[in-house]
Structure 1
Amino acid sequence: MPDDEVQIRAVITRWADAVHRGDLEAVVADHTDDLVMFDVPPPHEGVRGTAAYRAIWPPFFEWLAQGATFEIDTLDVTPGAYVSYAHALLRCGTPEELAARPTLRLRVSFGLRKERGRWLVAHEHHSFPHD
């Protein structure tokens, strides 16, 4: 595995672990200041910048603290020299939701930029399939 791929996998794995723990500082740590994120809940036009990104997480952390799961199932990385992308499927839901729909996965796409030798997430897109 190329070094860039290893680094990118580490960034995304740290992010997912931080989300699961409810650690906001670690969730934001490997993101650009000008990041853009499109998420499942509103705002549907997305969030832009670190302040807006920080603001969306506390309600999600509260939901996770009630026993929900947030863990990477699969992760694919396509590294480039200065820009890379990755996509993942995550188990995300309450035990009841996952029991009722065991194959349901949150889809997450990442766009990353290499800045001063460090991979940072500049774009995230989260979605669930619509049945």
Structure 2
Amino acid sequence: MGGATGAIEPEREVLGMLSAWAAEASAGDLDALMAHYVPDIVSYDAIYALQFRGTEAYRAHWQGCLSACESMRFEIHDPRVAVSGDVAFAHYLAFCGGTGHDGSEHTGWMRATAGCRKIDGRWMIVHEHFSAPFDPISGKALFDLQP
């Protein structure tokens, strides 16, 4: 992850949590990944549904994503974090996707935002939003854009 130099402690904690999240997603560790979300998470993921409410729905979504790929890849680039008390807001570019069971790679750049709260001394994701720019004429997502 780049862009975290000079961060004060709460920002570092949030960046550390997001870094762990990305590593666990890349490793396909569903239980560890889901431990970062509050039970009533609201997520606007970029694929399959308009929104996911609650860890049960989001876990099923993640399970589908992980089982569709031989391997996953999540990298956080240029993260920015703002913290006020027990609330944090982070945004970053995500290079993500996976290698299918046929060996074909489906990766690309996306935009990501995470809303977090510190609960019982631990930063948790309460809202997550992934999106991809799209071509309004064709309606196709533009995953091949470069930062």
Instruction: Tell me if TM exceeds 0.5.
Output: yes
Q: Separation in 1 of the partners of 2:52 and 2:110?
A: 18
Residue 108 of structure 1 pairs with residue 112 of structure 2: yes
Counting strand residues as a fraction of each chain, which structure ranks higher?
A: 2
| TM-score (ref. length: structure 1) | 0.84
For 2:75, which of 71, 75, 85 is the aligned residue?
A: 71
Instruction: Give me the identity figure in percent.
Output: 35
Q: Separation in 2 of the partners of 1:77 and 1:110?
A: 9
Q: Separation in 1 of the partners of 2:106 and 2:57?
A: 28
CA 63–12 in structure 1, closer or farther in 2 if over 3 Å, else same: same
Residue 126 of structure 1 pairs with residue 134 of structure 2: no
| TM-score (ref. length: structure 2) | 0.76
For the Cα contact (< 8 Å) 2:89–2:114, is it kept in 1? Answer: yes
Task: Tell me the alpha carbon deviations over residues 55-107 of structure 1, each in whole angstroms, 9 at most, x when there is no partner.
Answer: 10122113442x55321222111111121100111112457556xxxxx5111
Aligned length: 124
Q: Separation in 2 of the partners of 1:68 and 1:27?
A: 13
CA 88–64 in structure 1, closer or farther in 2 if over 3 Å, else same: farther
For 2:88, which of 49, 70, 84 is the aligned residue?
A: 84
Which structure carries more relative contact order (alpha carbon 8 Å, separation 6+)? 1
For 1:5, which of 1, 7, 11 is the aligned residue?
A: 11
Unaligned runs of 5+ in 1: 99-103
Q: Separation in 2 of the partners of 1:64 and 1:71?
A: 16
CA RMSD of aligned residues (A): 1.8
Residue 53 of structure 1 pairs with residue 53 of structure 2: no
